[in-house]
Structure 1
Amino acid sequence: MSPAPVRLPQAGGGLRTYEPRAEPLALTATGRPPTSRTVFAAAHVVADPYADTTPGGPAAVDWDATLAFRRHLWSHGLAVAEAMDTAQRGMGLEWAGAAELIRRSAAEAKAVGGRIACGVGTDQLVLPAGLSAIRRAYEEQLAVVEESGAQAILMASRALAATATGPEDYLEVYGQLLRQAAEPVVLHWLGPMFDPALEGYWGTADLDAATDVFLEVIAAHPDKVDGIKVSLLDAGREIALRRRLPDGVRCYTGDDFHYPELIAGDTRSFSHALLGIFDPLGPLAAEAVRLLDTGDTAGFRALLDPTVALSRHLFEAPTRYYKTGVVLLAWLAGHQDHFTMVGGLQSARSLPHLARAYELADGLGLFPDPELAAARMRSLLTVHGASQ
């Protein structure tokens, strides 16, 4: 039996009737990790909706629901990228909260046999800060991640972007960190569309020159670099970059606009994945990559290509607010009991944007219980005055 219709906002004002699908997409309930690609889902955090928080104050996290969502991702064979921008690092989740998230999630990963990598940054700093302070901040966070038993992801630093006077400062800071790292790390190049404070990262606004600096960092310490995570939303640039990597260094795509073709690859190279869109797409993405494991590229593309419209919608400008749509879909899918976000970020997208996200996700069959999703969407619309 199909859920009752939902009246969604339409372009130009007013409401239109949407008929939800009756059944979810049929997917494997759980699954083994993919073998042909390493696939990380960057996971969101679940806020505590009953905490008495204040703007700019510490984040209040619902730890049970947050860890349950990570178990959901692991159960489908995905790895978890923790304490990344999807978890609202720098957008509501401060370093103290991120450190607790890292420790709790790493312990949970160990308990269930899941793979985890965690973000290492400098967000505990107060600007302005010198290069020595930036290096020490990175080192503090690296120690927390390594002591937890997780793999480290060296994230781009707002402090370094604000302080560095040229490429040589990046080479110095990253060189010191890589020499200290106990195990190979992932280097994360996050573009300014995800964080405007990272404009000119690697010491130049010229992306070709920045790529050369990035590659110089890797070439100096290839044994300490497991891979790179590229989030520039430029498929051609990512392909060119991954072909220049030293042997054994992986490229993890962070391109939420072109991920199917980048993961599928070509005759010369392919990308692994570390993606925020794989938070709501987890079971579908894992099943698609398992098709790729068997050599069924056409089946992989047939399953994953239709999801791009949803991803492009969630990540539309200003891209950094994609987390709002991700959390909406987690609520609609039944992974959490509320649509509340750390820092009140549930208000960052418009009602028409959220309604379109629901429609696209429902059309893909992403909701395990379409009736629950429709009922929750109707309740959200009603709160906003859209009579159902």
Structure 2
Amino acid sequence: MKHHPVRLRLPGPDGTTRPYEPRPAPLPLPPGPAPSSRTVFSAAHVVADPYADVSPDSPAAVDWDATLAFRRHLWSHGLGVAEAMDTAQRGMGLDWPAAAELIRRSAVEARAVGGRIACGVGTDQLGGDQLGAGRHGTGAGTSRVRAAYEEQLALVEEAGAQPILMASRALAATARGPEDYLALYTDLLRQSSRPVILHWLGPMFDPALYGYWGSADLDAATETFLDVVRAHPDKVDGIKVSLLDARREVELRRRLPAGVRCYTGDDFNYPELIAGDELGFSHALLGIFDPLGPLAAQAVRLLDEGDTGAFRAVLDPTVELSRHLFRPPTRFYKTGVVFLAWLAGHQTHFTMVGGLQSARSLPHLARAYELADGLGLFPDPARAAHRMQSLLTVQGVPQ
């Protein structure tokens, strides 16, 4: 279908509208091989079934064809897929039965195309382990938390995927102190059949994880986290840090045992962390690489050639979009990610599981569109503009 250029009027946060003329052509971002100098994962979103007659409280209804097609898109650009993570609305609309099905299906697709996949292992099958559960909201003892982790670890390993041990709301609610974290994670690492990725997700992404690793003091929490890694470094492929604090991440990665990677989860400072310094660098496991996937892969291939300046020239301009999508309340960044996937043509609708398409304002979405279009992220800018125009019209913004 041929789309003719349009001019838009975009709403701003002050209640006014401004004219915007979409760019005429996208950036050339062809598929390519996996980068060799860094291991790069994109945490991938799920596509809801727009025809399902569900409410926000219903079990997730997923469009499996579109969801798996998006993963093939990421693999075609040489990226790994981090599956069933918070980007996939884990604990924010995607329940454990749907997450388990997602893991199984994506692992099959990964084998079919030779794509790299790592999958989230958590405890969300426990009753009450939902966003907003208080510090004592689940009532689950650490033995139940351990059993839940073990069930999910077994499923991921049976699927043939690399496990990512995610932070657990239930553990945050029931652990008595650092010793409970150390004991439980040490048990899980002993059981794992292959090296895992340990994920430290900060409370800006999920308020129920406040005080993870047994302390609200990040310095104390860091020591417990490192103790877990040091207990079995042969079972830890890497750590994923999502604290949005570049200085702390750099200090942490310099203290890791030899051979343990640091995967940045910092969607505010990822270019400098991936580029690294004279003492090392971070690999990447990022939600922002869902919309940035092809551009991010192209940028990291420049690092393969040793051209840090060119890498930064490509990736630095994307930070404004990322910081916009991940602005507080940060956990609602998924809305912007799915919105951009719709505009880019990866799905036919802007519907999310749990009704989360309503979590960001129209001015927020308009600015996300403007920034993404300016970066050349849309394969068909005219189609993206027409879709944006249709949304604005439905929302009552004169065009």
TM tier, shorter chain? Answer: over 0.9
Could you tell me which runs of 5 or more consecutive residues in structure 2 were left unpaired when the two chains were aligned: 128-137
Once the two structures are superposed, the pairs formed by residues 294-309 of structure 1 within 5 Å of their partners are 294-309=305-320
Match among 335, 342, 346 for residue 324 of structure 1? 335
Match among 236, 243, 248 for residue 254 of structure 2? 243
Match among 265, 281, 284 for residue 254 of structure 1? 265
The yes-or-no answer on 1:87 pairing with 2:98 is no
- Structure 1 range deviating more: 8-17 or 151-160: 8-17
The alignment covers a number of residue pairs equal to: 387
The CA distance in 2 between the partners of 1:16 and 1:355, in whole Å, is 11
TM-superposed CA distance for 1:11, in Å, is 3.7
The CA distance in 2 between the partners of 1:23 and 1:349, in whole Å, is 27
TM-superposed CA distance for 1:15, in Å, is 1.4
Q: Which residue of 1 aligns with 2:237?
A: 226
Once the two structures are superposed, the pairs formed by residues 79-228 of structure 1 within 5 Å of their partners are 79-126=80-127, 127-228=138-239
| Matched AA of 2:298 | E
The CA distance in 1 between the partners of 2:122 and 2:58, in whole Å, is 20
The yes-or-no answer on 1:26 pairing with 2:37 is no
Secondary structure of the corresponding residue to residue 284 of structure 2: strand
Q: Deviations for 1:308-364, whole angstroms, at most 9, x for unmatched residues?
A: 000000000000000000000000000000000000000000000000000000000
Q: Which residue of 2 aligns with 1:9?
A: 11
The CA distance in 1 between the partners of 2:228 and 2:350, in whole Å, is 41
Secondary structure of the corresponding residue to residue 361 of structure 1: helix
Secondary structure of the corresponding residue to residue 369 of structure 2: helix
**TM-score normalized by the length of structure 1:** 0.99
Contact 1:184/1:226 (CA < 8 Å) preserved in 2? Answer: yes
The CA distance in 2 between the partners of 1:94 and 1:10, in whole Å, is 35
Q: Which stretches of structure 1, 4 residues or more, deviate above 2 A after TM superposition?
A: none
TM-superposed CA distance for 1:26, in Å, is 2.1
**TM-score normalized by the length of structure 2:** 0.96
Alignment CA distance shift 1:2-1:266 (3 Å):
farther
| Matched AA of 2:67 | T
TM-superposed CA distance for 1:54, in Å, is 2.3
| Matched AA of 2:114 | G
The CA distance in 2 between the partners of 1:316 and 1:370, in whole Å, is 25
TM-superposed CA distance for 1:2, in Å, is 7.7
The CA distance in 2 between the partners of 1:214 and 1:73, in whole Å, is 31
Match among 364, 377, 385 for residue 366 of structure 1? 377
The yes-or-no answer on 1:387 pairing with 2:398 is yes
Q: Percent identity?
A: 79
Contact 2:343/2:387 (CA < 8 Å) preserved in 1? Answer: yes
The CA distance in 1 between the partners of 2:4 and 2:323, in whole Å, is 27
Contact 1:226/1:249 (CA < 8 Å) preserved in 2? Answer: yes
The CA distance in 2 between the partners of 1:275 and 1:11, in whole Å, is 28
TM-superposed CA distance for 1:16, in Å, is 1.1
The CA distance in 1 between the partners of 2:6 and 2:385, in whole Å, is 8
TM-superposed CA distance for 1:25, in Å, is 1.3
Q: Deviations for 1:140-175, whole angstroms, at most 9, x for unmatched residues?
A: 000110000000000000000000010000001101
TM-superposed CA distance for 1:375, in Å, is 0.1
What do you get for the CA RMSD once the two structures are aligned? 0.8
